[in-house]
Structure 1
């Protein structure tokens, strides 16, 4: 393999900024900060706005558009939108 053409693939600690959830995985994500974990390892730190711990889809808090008071049916009836049979 040629030197200098491959990305820096290493262990990276990802942190969810909304609740502090941390997980370590291998990544090429560019980082400027480092974090020291409880086990003493110092890893690059990548901050995230949301993860599976806080995203509404994964936490079960997401609401379906079809269940919001019949809005979809009202729209379809008003504009006669739908599947033609």
Structure 2
């Protein structure tokens, strides 16, 4: 591997402000802020708005989209199989 071609890959703490959750992982992200972790060492900390702890998809609070209602409205408006569209057909 060539030297000085790759970014510095080091331990970083990512902190989810919305959920109050932080996790230690390895990344190329940098930060001027530092935090003392459970192991007694200090690591750079990167604040994020959304992580798997607060994202609706992972927490199970995702909205379900009413696709059946959309399809029925489309068929009423433009005519489904074997139907005439609203407002009559040809003039």
The bucket for the TM-score relative to the shorter chain is 0.7 to 0.9
Q: How many residues align?
A: 81
TM-score by length of 1: 0.77
Counting only pairs closer than 5 Å after superposition, residues 1-85 of structure 1 correspond to structure 2 as 1-66=1-66, 70-80=68-78
Offset of 1:78 from its aligned partner?
Answer: 4.2
- Provide the alpha-carbon RMSD of the alignment: 2.4
TM-score by length of 2: 0.73
Larger Rg computed on CA atoms: 2
Structure 1: gaps of 5 or more residues: none
1-structure distance, mates of 2:24, 2:73 = 46
- Report runs of 4+ in structure 1 exceeding 6 Å deviation: none
| 1:71/1:35 CA distance change after superposition, 3 Å | same
Structure 2: gaps of 5 or more residues: 81-91
